[in-house]
Structure 1
Amino acid sequence: MVGFEYAKKSDNASNKNNLLSDAVINLDHGDPTAFEEYWRKMGDRCTVVIKGWELMSYFSDVNKVCWFMEPELENAIRGLHAAVGNAATEERYIVVGTGSTQLCQAAVHSLSSLRPCGTHPVSVVAAAPYYSTYVEETTYVRSEMYRWGGDARRYEKEEGPYIELVTSPNNPDGTMREEVVKRPQGKVIYDLAYYWPHFTPITHRPHHDIMLFTFSKLSGHAGSRIGWALVKDKEVAKKMVEYIMVNSIGVSKESQMRAAKVLNVMTETCRSHSDSFFLYGRDKMKNRWDKLREVVEQQSDDIFTLPKYPEAFCNFFGKPIGSYPAFAWLAIGCHEESDLGSLLMKQKVLTRSGNRCGSDKNHVRASMLCRDDVFSLFLHRLASITIPATDSLH
């Protein structure tokens, strides 16, 4: 559900505040509006001007595997990964997609279609708690080539080919992940959407066969719908491109050029002490997590709990730092069986229930990426919750 964060505009400031204080706030989705302030301060540095006659063709470079990707975007992607040190791009093909959601579908299609005949459908698995949209992506089209196989930990003893989706840092609980099943018949897709220094320490430079990234969670530009995959195997990359060609005949060039401009600015400023996006983003996320933990710890009877993340040395910042995930994996500790999502809904806070992520209703995923006023309202409502000892949320 989208569109609950803000009430109708009013010229009367006090009236607007009253409406906002009574509004339903949506922390179910991960709309990354938290970084809007930074890009406002950057002024015209990321402005892109496209003339009416430019970018009219379907094609960008017919000699490339991903023939609809603009060279400027490819160079910008490689440049930023080199500056941050969070993924190997050498000897890898870059496939651009309409967000990492399309790329994940393309990768699953590619890997399952390249399997020997007679071994379909391939099971697609992920260790719980997992990103709930993986279930929707693998079941929506009812493909005969693959099917959703559930929790990867339960699949370890199963036979047959499989594709494991590994999100690291994980969505929803923010933990660092590795593959679980580890069998010769399997393939692994690494979703590294949040492996950036404003969310987590950059401890190593991954070089997996398929790695997915998204412009949305990196910079906050979700509306541009840009993602990219770093793919080692040329045939897998070609199949992914084929999927995108059939699905959307390429990717918007206007979006690609905007993304290239923003990524280049991020690369240029990433070591700056005054206008580094990653420094700004890390401080923003740390501040929010500090405030959230303070609210949780100040409540009596340990009503809520949050995961704890160890510090690690970050190669990008050159010092030990903590993790500040894009989502809070909030649990209720008062009752063994409780519907935390329903409890928060009574406070007009929408979250994503843990049972959608392969967990339970004791947990919810709450976005940490909303605007400042929405986040403040969330903290206020969370702090106001009290549960009598005899109360049952079941």
Structure 2
Amino acid sequence: MGNGSTQLAQAALYALSSDSPQPLSVVCAVPYYSGYPDLANLMRWYKWEGDANTFDKDTPFVEIVTSPNNPDGFFRVPVVKPRPDGHVVYDMAYYWPQYTAITHQADHDIMLFTFSKATGHGGSRIGWAVVKDKETALKMAKFIDVTTLGVSREAQVRASKILGAISDVYEGPEALPESDRFFEYFRRVLNERMDKLRESLRVNEFFSLPEYPIKHCLFTKGLTRISPGFAFLKCEDGKVKDACGLLRSHNIIGRGGPMFGMNDSFVRVSLLSREDTFNCLLERLSAIGAGGDVAVQINPS
């Protein structure tokens, strides 16, 4: 258990670097989660080395594989060639059936999960790691114990109760019709929002979105479309040098491509806001290139 998957990622890097005579190189294929560089540069035992696709140093390393990926939602596999001094940490924060098809039973050496992406309760700061190697797990537990004296019992009880309530709607006397169950409802909302966003983008033709595959899901026992919680937009207008700045000029707050190791033509916006905020996002996106403007400020995600 950890205080969110961010602390567990730190704990994993600490555990894997404890026997290394030099700073452990930390890499991740672009586009990578924007929080990894700061996380990897926080301690002297490891350091951020950027894009895993271009990593060629003969030094101990950890490759972080975010699958499904943040910001673009695609499945990921390691890209650095395996070797004895290399490790892989799987960040599986979004491996939940509302975001993607559950295509296999995950069985990696170190896997990180988080309560916040499963249910939206980020403030509870609950994450968990599944770790095969006992010594690595003990070192991770020590890191969490020393840095924060463990994990809040109140938060653990709250997370357990909420996960139990979600489980109850799938089986037993409190089971609900399939359309009313938690993950199905969540996925339906994300699918609808992605469809509305694509329609809005077709109006202005400034931005494009990746095309997501449909895969068979072991959870739903049917075909499921990938529906990430973010939209990783690419600006297709060559005259625009800063996609994030363009959105800000229309009172839309996003995260620019350089934060994810990409160029300024990319920007990430959240699809997990409240309904009125999402509708406001669509309105402002449609106004780009149409001469429209709106005055109300969108809260940052």
With the length of structure 1 as denominator, give the TM-score of the two structures: 0.70
Match of 2:23 among 121, 137, 142: 121
> Contact 1:337–1:361 at 8 Å: present in 2 too?
no
Q: Deviations over 1:176-201 (max 9, x none)?
A: 10011032121000000001110001
Tell me whether 1:230 sits opposite 2:135 in the alignment.
Answer: no
Match of 2:298 in 1: none
Q: Deviations over 1:94-133 (max 9, x none)?
A: xx11100110011111111133xx3x11100000100010
Match of 1:379 in 2: 282
- Between the aligned partners of 1:337 and 1:166, the Cα distance in structure 2 is 31
- Between the aligned partners of 1:137 and 1:358, the Cα distance in structure 2 is 15
- Between the aligned partners of 2:219 and 2:19, the Cα distance in structure 1 is 37
Match of 2:296 in 1: none
Match of 1:356 in 2: 259
Match of 1:296 in 2: 201
Q: Deviations over 1:324-347 (max 9, x none)?
A: 001100110011762010000011
- Between the aligned partners of 1:216 and 1:108, the Cα distance in structure 2 is 21
Q: Deviations over 1:67-110 (max 9, x none)?
A: xxxxxxxxxxxxxxxxxxxxxxxxxxxxx111001100111111
> Contact 1:168–1:175 at 8 Å: present in 2 too?
yes
Q: Deviations over 1:257-296 (max 9, x none)?
A: 0000111112222364254110111111111101101111
Match of 1:175 in 2: 74
- 1:241/1:268 Cα in 2 relative to 1: closer, same or farther (>3 Å)? same
5+ residue gaps in structure 1?
Answer: 1-95, 389-394
Equivalent AA in structure 2 for residue 293 of structure 1: R
Q: Which moved more, 1:357-366 or 1:273-282?
A: 273-282
Partner SS, residue 63 of structure 2: strand
Match of 1:212 among 92, 112, 116: 112
1:126-141 matched pairs, under 5 angstroms: 126-139=28-41, 141=42
Tell me whether 1:106 sits opposite 2:5 in the alignment.
Answer: no
Q: Deviations over 1:301-334 (max 9, x none)?
A: x311000111000111111110100110011001
Match of 1:189 in 2: 89
Partner SS, residue 330 of structure 1: strand
What is the identity percentage for the equivalent residue pairs of Structure 1 and Structure 2?
47
Q: Deviations over 1:198-238 (max 9, x none)?
A: 00011111100110111001101011110110111110110
Equivalent AA in structure 1 for residue 27 of structure 2: V
> Contact 1:270–1:278 at 8 Å: present in 2 too?
no
Alignment RMSD? 1.4
Match of 1:5 in 2: none
Match of 1:311 among 203, 206, 214: 214
* Structure number, greater radius of gyration: 1
Partner SS, residue 128 of structure 2: strand
- Between the aligned partners of 1:386 and 1:337, the Cα distance in structure 2 is 12
Match of 2:160 in 1: 260
With the length of structure 2 as denominator, give the TM-score of the two structures: 0.92
Q: Which moved more, 1:162-171 or 1:178-187?
A: 178-187
Residue-pair matches, total:
285
Cα distance, 1:369 vs structure 2: 0.7
Tell me whether 1:146 sits opposite 2:146 in the alignment.
Answer: no
Q: Deviations over 1:331-371 (max 9, x none)?
A: 10011762010000011111001101100110011111111
Q: Deviations over 1:371-391 (max 9, x none)?
A: 111000000000010079xxx
Partner SS, residue 262 of structure 2: coil
> Contact 2:240–2:246 at 8 Å: present in 1 too?
no
Match of 1:322 in 2: 225
- 1:365/1:270 Cα in 2 relative to 1: closer, same or farther (>3 Å)? farther
Which structure has more RCO (C-alpha within 8 Å, separation ≥ 6)?
1
Match of 1:392 in 2: none
- Between the aligned partners of 1:284 and 1:306, the Cα distance in structure 2 is 18
5+ residue gaps in structure 2?
Answer: 292-301
Match of 2:234 in 1: 331
Tell me whether 1:240 sits opposite 2:140 in the alignment.
Answer: yes
Tell me whether 1:284 sits opposite 2:186 in the alignment.
Answer: no
